[in-house]
């Protein structure tokens, strides 16, 4: 018996479909950030590198439970969730004064260059392009982070960039943009 192929919705190509927003001073709930708050954040979609930027869940901690005499092996249960976070930012310098940072274009690096700075990183990876505003109902992942000391690039080719390790304090992987501030 031949099983016919089931038509599926076309897949979404990843390029240009990741929106990367940095929120400074946001202390609210990560579960339902409003579109207004997100659209006021720093848009980093074109200011961080694909290869050097990663925000994701990693394997959760596991705990070995008490096994009964009849159990084969030691049962494991999921423990605390773990996350990783780091960004690699392009550096932007003032055209008239190339020895100084451009105040607008270099905004992400300037905001997070001091160790201990807190921020929320919000990422939308959907069928919407990176340059479209946040809207109620958009899916996102949010990571509350604290910046560590930035690192110079090892290979001095291509554009000048800096890696900022940002350990994740808490995260929401399945957030949905709220209609108004406060949910």
| Residues 78-120 pLDDT 10s | 899 999 999 999 999 999 999 999 999 999 999 999 999 999 9
Q: Is there a domain that residue 100 lies in?
A: yes
In a domain, 101, yes or no: yes
**Residues above pLDDT 70, as percent of the chain:** 95
List the domain range (segments joined by +) for residue 146: 18-58+78-176
**DSSP 8-state class, residue 171:** E
* 142, pLDDT greater than 80: yes
Q: Which pLDDT score is estimated for 15?
A: 81
Closest CA to 124 of 173, 88, 82: 173
Q: What is the spatial distance between Cα 81 and Cα 58, in angstroms, rounded to a whole number?
A: 8
pTM above 0.85, yes or no: yes
In a domain, 107, yes or no: yes
Cβ density class 19-54: b for 16+ within 10 Å, e for less: bbbbbeebeeebebbbbebbeebbbbbebbeeebbe
Number of domains in the chain: 1
pLDDT averaged over every residue in the chain: 92
Concatenated DSSP letters of 77-129? EE-S-EEEEEEEEEP-B-SS-TTSB-TTTTHHHHHH-STT-EEEEEEEESSS-
What CATH number is associated with residue 106?
Answer: 2.30.110
Task: Report the pLDDT value the prediction gives residue 183, as an integer from 0 to 100.
Answer: 47
Average of pLDDT values for 126-130? 95
Residue 4 placed within a domain: no
């Amino acid at each position: 018996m031949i099983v016919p192929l089931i038509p599926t919705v076309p897949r979404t190509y990843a390029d240009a479909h990741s929106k990367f927003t940095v929120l400074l001073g946001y202390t609210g709930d990560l579960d339902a950030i409003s579109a207004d708050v997100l659209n006021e954040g720093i848009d980093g979609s074109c200011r961080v590198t694909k290869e050097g930027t990663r925000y994701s869940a990693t394997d959760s901690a596991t705990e070995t439970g008490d096994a009964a005499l009849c159990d084969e092996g030691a049962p494991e249960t999921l423990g605390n969730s773990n996350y990783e976070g780091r960004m690699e930012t392009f550096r932007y310098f003032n055209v008239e004064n190339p020895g100084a940072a451009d105040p607008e274009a270099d905004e992400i690096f300037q905001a997070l260059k001091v160790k201990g700075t807190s921020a929320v990183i919000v990422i939308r990876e959907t069928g919407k392009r990176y340059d479209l505003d946040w809207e109620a109902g958009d899916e996102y992942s949010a990571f509350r982070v604290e910046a560590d000391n930035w690192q110079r690039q090892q290979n001095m080719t291509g554009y000048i960039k800096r890696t900022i390790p940002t350990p994740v304090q808490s995260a929401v992987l399945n957030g949905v943009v709220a209609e108004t501030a406060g949910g």
